[in-house]
Structure formats: C-alpha cells, structure tokens
Amino acid sequence: MTVQTVKLGRERYVLLREKDYRRLKAKAEQGPRSRSKPRRLTAQDKGDIAEAKRREREPSIPLEIVRERLGL
C-alpha cells in the first residue's frame, strides 16, 4: 500500500489508492469480532461446562423453604 502525505496549512492528510481505501473501509465495517479467530475450548473450559450442566440437573430448594428452615 503506497501512502503519500500532504500538508495543507497545519493539517496533514494521507493520500492512498482507492482500492486500498475500499479494502480498509470494508475491514473496518466488519468489526473486531469478525476478524478474530474463535477461541478453542481448553480442558478446563470443557470441565466447567460439564459441571454447570450437572448442577443444572440437580433439584433445587425454593428460597421460601430455605428461609423457613433457617428461621428467617
């Protein structure tokens, strides 16, 4: 990418090819998430997911019953 700078008064401007400008504009419109690669799950992540699913299946006790048992 060939870039030239021009100084007009106290301001500096950058001139570049239209093709390069369009490519940079398209990349900026995609956003940061689309450019990054998806993160792979580690063994720790897989274990945490399994633990969360296991706990989700466990029966829960309503808060009202817990308060009664504790005498609150």
More confident residue, 33 or 70: 70
Q: How far apart are CA 53 and CA 50, in angstroms?
A: 5
Structural domain boundaries in the chain: 3-32+39-70
Residue 68's pLDDT is 93
Residue 44's pLDDT is 95
Confidence of residue 70 (pLDDT cuts 50, 70, 90): very high
pLDDT tens-place string over residues 3-56: 789 999 999 999 998 999 999 899 888 876 655 667 888 999 999 999 999 999
Residue 39's pLDDT is 80
Residue 1's pLDDT is 67
Q: How far apart are CA 38 and CA 10, in angstroms?
A: 44
